Structure 1
Amino acid sequence: MTTVNNVVSREVWLAARLELLAREKAWTREGDALAAARRALPRVRIDAPYVFAGPDGERSLLDLFAGKRQLVLYHFMFDPSKDQGCRSCSFVADHFAGAQVHLAARDTALVVVSRAPLAKIAAFRARMGWTFQWLSSHGSSFNYDFGVSFDPADVAAQAVDYNYKKQAFPHPEAPGISVFVREGDAVYHTYSTYGRGFEPVMTTYAILDLTPLGRQEEGLEFPMAWVRHHDSYDGT
């Protein structure tokens, strides 16, 4: 238990809070500037005929837009040899349900893609109670082309190309977010982010960052070692 040893008067607290508020406002303005720079990135036309397996049959990348102008695609770590998805990616996915209706109101579709076969995805999706669109890219180069699946030899050599650099990565699958926009039937890739780049979608972290104990990840084997599938926490 953390010892409370920094108790002060309301006046002292207010002075400290106003000092922090100035930093928060500067951070918010920088975030706005980064978002503008992100929107201004050039785009790459996607001509590869990617095919995804879904509950209603095969779908193209264009189909995933479901008529919307924009597409946000989450690369969910689900190794084809496994029977359940990554715990950390499940933590991310738990935050999608409430966002979908609001994204749709801004002409944006949200889908999830994994390399695991559709049958495994469907079983795990049902277990988790999720309703978002989740498709399989099994048998295609999609995950490899977007930097979230790796050759086992590169994993062994600790030289996978992830997050825009060669580095060690302990798994053949990795998480990420890719964003696409369409002009008519032409699809363009505008943005991809990896590592901590998609923390903004994890609102649990944003809430914990408001608290005095924070994320409580110090001393763990890796930061998200505490995360479990939402049906696997003790006492649930």
Structure 2
Amino acid sequence: MTLPKVASREEWLAARRLLLDKEKAAAKARDALNAERRALPMVRVDKPYRFDGPDGEVGLAELFEGRRQLIVYHFMFDPEWKRGCHRCTAMVDDFGDDTHLNDRDTTLAVVSRAPLAKLEAYQRERGWDVPWYSSYGSDFNYDFHVTMDESVMPVEYNFRSGEEHVRAGMPWYASGEQPGVSVFLSDGGEVFHTYSAYARGLDKLAFTRNWMDLTPLGRQDP
């Protein structure tokens, strides 16, 4: 990797001010994008999904834990795997204390397709306290497009078909487990799906990577 050139403090300050103008423009664009995201239409969730959790079998409404909003992180953990995805593991390591989310009427939960016993064993190993549920035997992962299996339903990831990913040179998005995040709202006793993001759409949630974006060596992803 090529390092930045060495400059005087005055040269650095001039370059930094130019970059600040671009950062401010990007922040304003992000604010406008966030407003559009909040204004997206929402879809009523009618299917009775069931999950295995620490307190037994629950439905999607129970994942809210009595709050109005629910953020689900789709953690890659195939039922046949011995361990969870290393990048998803790094993401959950970054979650930290969810008290501030809870104070804003929002619950953060993790859902994976592996059986609950595997999830709980991995959770103990990592020392996590985040609510983690198994969707094993449920359509949840397929319906929210984080498990790709053409024999179950047509493949769609990041709002593109499997064929589109193959043509784009990214066949790994056309099969198996993939990461994602989905957001839900509870209103009037009903649950609504408001947002989902996948692939690079998860970048803004990657705490460590966003810190590393501030450094000259960057993310240093393998």
Question: TM-score of the superposition, structure 1-length normalised?
Answer: 0.86
Q: What residue is the counterpart of 1:182 in the other structure?
A: 186
TM-superposed CA distance for 1:199, in Å, is 1.1
**Contact 2:4-2:216 at 8 Å conserved across structures:** no
TM-superposed CA distance for 1:4, in Å, is 5.4
**Contact 2:73-2:182 at 8 Å conserved across structures:** yes
In the alignment, does 2:138 pair up with 1:143?
no
- Count the aligned residue pairs: 213
Q: What residue is the counterpart of 1:211 in the other structure?
A: 215
Q: What residue is the counterpart of 2:67 in the other structure?
A: 68
Quick one: structure 1 residues 5 and 63, their matched pair in 2 at CA, closer, same or farther if it must change by over 3 Å?
Answer: closer
- Give 2:194's aligned amino acid: T
- Give 2:199's aligned amino acid: G
* Whole-Å separation in 1 of the counterparts to 2:2 and 2:202: 33
Q: What residue is the counterpart of 2:120 in the other structure?
A: 122
In structure 1, stretches of 5+ residues that fail to align are 218-225, 227-236
Q: Which of 111, 114, 121 matches 1:113? A: 111
Q: What residue is the counterpart of 1:9 in the other structure?
A: 8
TM-superposed CA distance for 1:160, in Å, is 3.1
**Contact 1:54-1:135 at 8 Å conserved across structures:** yes
CA RMSD, 1 decimal: 1.8
**Structure 1, residues 208-232: CA drift from partner, whole Å, max 9, x if none?**
1000111134xxxxxxxx3xxxxxx
In structure 2, stretches of 5+ residues that fail to align are none
In the alignment, does 2:206 pair up with 1:202?
yes
Question: TM-score of the superposition, structure 2-length normalised?
Answer: 0.91
Q: What residue is the counterpart of 2:37 in the other structure?
A: 38
Identity of aligned residues (%): 52
SS in 2 for 1:47: coil
Off by >3 Å, runs of 4+ in structure 1: 2-5
SS in 2 for 1:132: coil
In the alignment, does 2:89 pair up with 1:94?
no
SS in 2 for 1:180: strand
